[in-house]
Chain A
Amino acid sequence: MELVQMQKSLQDYTKSLFLDGVLDSQFLQLQQLQDESNPDFVSQVVTLFFQDSDRILNDLSLSLDQQVVDFKKVDPHVHQLKGSSSSIGAQRVKNACVVFRSFCEQQNVEGCHRCLQQVKKEYYLVKNRLETLFKLEQQIVASGGMIPAMELGF
């Protein structure tokens, strides 16, 4: 595939993530922080987010599987995930965490289980999409091209 085509594909793909609400403007903020001195900043931060989130989701599954659910343990985890997903612009994960927290507040175990499933669903979705996005970027760079700056006017 030609370089120009690859760059166009990347732009279209990125745009679709915003239009679908998978990513929000905070992701653009992260991209602004990437430059020649820190060319992998976004993928580094996102990778840390994935590692952090994998751990949190695991802890959440364990906590919710207990005979007696300790909401004092569950809520801080959700709060943490809400924060980190917000910081990288993973909008749907963040929104799912907000709903999750309200069920924690109500100490609704059934509701929390459903929320965890929803959070996981959104998380795996954004993880998958971002991994694809980074692959597209790598292909462009490997072909000697530049990653086009995201246009904000859509």
Chain B
Amino acid sequence: YYYSSMAKDGGVSCLRSSEMLNVGIGGMEPPPLDLDEVHVLAVDDSLVDRIVIERLLRITSCKVTAVDSGWRALEFLGLDNDKASDEFDKLKVDMIITDYCMPGMTGYELLKKIKESSSFRQVPVVIMSSENVLTRIDRCLEEGAEDFLLKPVKLADVKRLRSCLTGDVKLSNGNKRKLPEDSVSVDTSLPPPPLSLTFSTNSSDSSPPLSPVEVFSSPLSSPEDDDDVLTSSPEGSPMSEESPIRRQKMGSPGLD
């Protein structure tokens, strides 16, 4: 099972007890909830990636709750059953960052569930993926994702996300952010991000013989097998639709 702990620099995370023994973090009482602090829910089935994203967020002064699946994320948010629960009204989540490829519930499915909920639909959701697949990016942005980060995630990526968050208005009742009446999406409160930063240069893109292989996601891998629910073209598209060189973030409504 998993429980909260405080790491040396004051961050809070949820790790399974076996994970905590491995990283040598002692169990301590979580600090009292500070409404001024940015609280991020991170979702990733990979332990290594969870540790890294958690550290990236903490080093940029976020409080972090890290969970290993979409179901645990919904459980944390109180969205895992139909009963409305009062205690979750006090839950303050300023951003959700999730891996795309996860067994069980994909990041895309989690995104949809969050956007369907009345309490958390205004929370920005960022998707992370190791694969630069344009149909995937489009699909996520269309569903209301705030941003799409290419893995491995870098400090510059998280710093940029963080600086976007501080521009938002926070109400004293926690997680519901009031938007200007005339805005349709949460993007209008953000400064337009530099286009080159979303997909930071990494070695996978700079080794030409391998990039074409990288772009095609395997139809056999079950974590990515979510094409059944979609109307957009399957991910194994011909090269003409997807270029490994293309780095632009797809524009979402309200950003331009």
Contacts and interface: CB of A to CB of B under 8 A. Distances in A.
Interface of A: 24-26, 29-30, 32-33, 35, 37-38, 40-41, 44-45, 47-49, 51-52, 71-72, 75-76, 79-80, 82-84, 86-89, 91, 94-95, 98-99, 101-102, 104-105, 107
Contact of B22 (A38, A48, A80): A48
A102 B221 contact: no
A83 B151 CA distance: 8
A26 B202 CA distance: 8
B185 interface: no
A108 to B, nearest CB: 12
Contacts of B52: 30, 33, 45, 87
Contacts of B250: none
Contacts of B55: 33, 38, 41
A47 B55 CA distance: 16
A24 B200 CA distance: 14
B213 A79 contact: no
Interface string B199-229: 0001110010010011010111111100000
A93 to B, nearest CB: 12
A99 B218 CA distance: 12
Main secondary structure of the interface of A (DSSP, over half): helix
A102 B213 contact: yes
Nearest to B59: A33
Interface string B218-254: 1111111000000000000000000000000000000
B221 to A, nearest CB: 4
Contacts, number: 107
8 contacts: A29-B154, A33-B55, A52-B46, A72-B222, A79-B218, A83-B49, A86-B151, A95-B207
Interface in B41-78: 46-49, 51-52, 55-56, 59
B107 interface: no
Contacts of B154: 26, 29
B169 interface: no
B103 interface: yes
A24 to B, nearest CB: 4
Interface string B162-181: 00000000000000000000
Nearest to A45: B51
A89 B52 CA distance: 12
Contacts of A51: 22
B124 interface: no
Contacts of B202: 24-26, 86
B125 interface: no
B188 interface: no
Contact of A24 (B19, B48, B203, B224): B203
A16 to B, nearest CB: 17
B48 A49 contact: yes
B6 to A, nearest CB: 12
A80 B46 CA distance: 7
A57 B49 CA distance: 18
A52 B219 contact: no
B152 A29 contact: yes
B218 A101 contact: yes
B220 A104 contact: yes
A112 to B, nearest CB: 12
Contact of B46 (A30, A40, A72, A84): A84
A105 B24 CA distance: 39
A113 B39 CA distance: 45
